[in-house]
Structure 1
């Protein structure tokens, strides 16, 4: 496979809530289709201007400033196609809707050089090699299941990135959390890198705006099933916000969740809770405007099998408790 060169031209205005941020960080937020490392390279190469002035990576930018990017992107065989099965929910000439399984990393990285969703997409649709990150415009954590949208053309890519920035894309999740919540609510708490544990995120004073809405769907002994909707899309947002509320996701050992089987529960339920291998989070619904037609489109997938099985056991336990109290 030979290398190909793509001209990249972008012009964005700095929103007021990004004022005072470092250029590379702000640009990474405004142009999420490109990695921060790549953007830093372009800045250092003089391919980025702020209000038509040359700039440095560490320069601060202010609300209303116009950032212009004019760069060349070389696509090569760095990430090879791999025949990895995909659950394609919808496909047309502009977009793909994927139902991602648990355990599938979205992008290749140091610890996961291949075997990722990106490798699978390049095999399924080789033309995606011409797009940034093979058309992936947002991501799910490795062990989060459910719906993702992938662009198949540059037009679709730009349109979807814009929809994400303008918060037009609707994303709804199912989250099984520890503890009992009696009502829904809204979490408005900024998220940034954890001050001492760099592999984690946390609610921090000077983090990026992060807003999560949740409502109670079902209650079980010691556990609650929530419907969660994202207003913003920060790394680990639902996991961090639920931990912030002292109701971490079942199975989320990264954020301190330990199994808490209800006292006296069925052995099957205790074993299932103690062995659940991932955060209990599933992207169940996705809605967006089609990038070519503008049509409002929506998709829904069933609950992931492992989470559905755990919920059945919790419902049985809730029924047992109700019968004992009757």
Structure 2
């Protein structure tokens, strides 16, 4: 599915001598420099009726004509009237609190019931934004905050901030074992060499950095807060398992349950927690339109609250016995 884009402008004096791709990125901020470069190389950008290369210099008064094809979303993605927990929305961005169990993007075996299906019903214009405006994702069974770009300008801005590592993303998690202090895991992540559906710490992986600090310690578990510098797939889950403190309930990286000596009620709460105990609680960035720093915070969901309460109660029983 695609649409034709027609744009026109004149090179102003202040851009004289600049590369064509750089000048276009300033003149048409709704489109990424990468997209504009593709159009230049495809011959869809004319400068005074001639084709140029991305590195060619531009001069004051030159006329820019762009007639290009913009690929939009897969036309098999269908809008569905699904509930969205919207925390904030304006003309540029939408912030929502994703529940456990909701897949972000349609894919094999998940063509319906996804966050994208719900977003296209709520804001049909998102069909014209790459990936329906979703610039980052959280796992199906992870809860919490996600940002959605409603315009191309917002999409380019948020992608840029993610690449520059300036987006604030903080999570809460419950892990096995007792952490004595906070710390940092700086270990590259890539696909597991055997199971390609899993991620693993590997020398050939991409840089990944997770900072964590202790919120509360229990008899055999720890409630922590994690701050991401990077946003690799399964990053917190893999990093915490790597230092032998896997997330409670993690079906992929969880390993053996911690909990020797727990009360029966607490043991049932831990073993009965059927998803990774992970919640994206804080999100912040520079607003694409105003340039102001904005942030949101949502509390942990009921199931994690109940898990933490069970661990706190177990501590109370231990201390009183």
The interval holding the TM-score normalised by the smaller chain is 0.7 to 0.9
Q: Distance in 2 between matches of 1:71 and 1:188?
A: 41
**2:177–2:258 CA contact under 8 A, matched in 1:** no
Name the structure 1 match of 2:269: 272
* Larger Rg computed on CA atoms: 2
**1:288–1:297 CA contact under 8 A, matched in 2:** yes
Q: 5+ unaligned residues in a row in structure 1: which ranges?
A: 13-30, 35-41, 54-69
Name the structure 2 match of 1:17: none
Name the structure 2 match of 1:127: 125
Secondary structure class of the residue paired with 1:72 = strand
Q: Distance in 2 between matches of 1:175 and 1:75?
A: 34
- Alignment map for 1:167-186 (pairs within 5 Å): 167-186=165-184
Name the structure 2 match of 1:301: 298
Name the structure 1 match of 2:95: 97
Deviations 1:33-57 (A, max 9, x none): 99xxxxxxx8xx979xxx969xxxx
Q: CA RMSD in A?
A: 2.7
Q: Shift of residue 76 of structure 1?
A: 5.1
Q: Shift of residue 262 of structure 1?
A: 3.9
Q: Shift of residue 226 of structure 1?
A: 0.7
**1:273–1:310 CA contact under 8 A, matched in 2:** yes
- Alignment map for 1:243-258 (pairs within 5 Å): 243-258=241-256
Secondary structure class of the residue paired with 1:112 = coil
**1:250–1:258 CA contact under 8 A, matched in 2:** no
CA change 1:310–1:109 in 2 (3 A) is same
Deviations 1:178-208 (A, max 9, x none): 0010000011100000011111000001100
TM-score by length of 2: 0.80
Question: Which has the larger displacement, 242-251 or 76-85?
Answer: 76-85
Q: 5+ unaligned residues in a row in structure 2: which ranges?
A: 8-19, 23-31, 44-52, 56-67
- Alignment map for 1:223-234 (pairs within 5 Å): 223-234=221-232
Q: Shift of residue 298 of structure 1?
A: 1.1
Name the structure 1 match of 2:310: 313
- Count of residues in Structure 1 that have an aligned counterpart in Structure 2: 276
Q: Distance in 1 between matches of 2:177 and 2:6?
A: 48
Q: Tell me which of 288, 292, 297 is aligned to 1:291.
A: 288
Name the structure 1 match of 2:109: 111
Secondary structure class of the residue paired with 1:128 = helix
Name the structure 2 match of 1:78: 76
Name the structure 1 match of 2:189: 191
Q: Shift of residue 71 of structure 1?
A: 6.0
Q: Distance in 2 between matches of 1:193 and 1:170?
A: 25
Q: Distance in 1 between matches of 2:146 and 2:101?
A: 15
Q: Distance in 1 between matches of 2:297 and 2:85?
A: 13
Q: Shift of residue 320 of structure 1?
A: 1.6
Q: Shift of residue 319 of structure 1?
A: 1.6
TM-score by length of 1: 0.79
Q: Tell me which of 223, 233, 236 is aligned to 2:234.
A: 236
Deviations 1:68-93 (A, max 9, x none): xx863144531000111010000111
**1:5–1:75 CA contact under 8 A, matched in 2:** no
